[in-house]
Amino acid sequence: MDVEVSGYKEALSVTDKIVNAIGNDIVQIANNIVKRAKEICNDPDCVKIKINHIGFKDKEFHFDTTLSDNEAIECMKKAIQESLDNMPDGIKQMFEAEIKRLETMKK
């Protein structure tokens, strides 16, 4: 089977653009969740909820925050739960897994 290099490169370029757009959507959703969690916890000064890294490392999504106590964990869970209905299924699954992970963090 012969493949035209120019067609293949173009296909890769389009695929990369789609992946980047989806990645940007995920990061925006994550930032909105953190913003909402801070509102729920009344934490505008980032004392209870701190962002360490939201984005991609080696093509893997990282939602890395520091949550100071159980109240902050609950605020983050609530913010995620409020957002789930508006998420595409694949992204929703990622954040449902994050809720499960947060449950294990309770002190």
User: Range of 31's domain?
Assistant: 5-105
- Mean pLDDT of the chain, nearest integer: 83
How many domains does one find in the chain? 1
Residue 54 one-letter amino acid: I
Global pTM reads 0.78
Residue 56 one-letter amino acid: F
pLDDT at residue 12 in the model: 62
pLDDT of 10 strictly over 90? no
Q: ∠ CA(78), CA(51), CA(24), 5° rounding?
A: 85
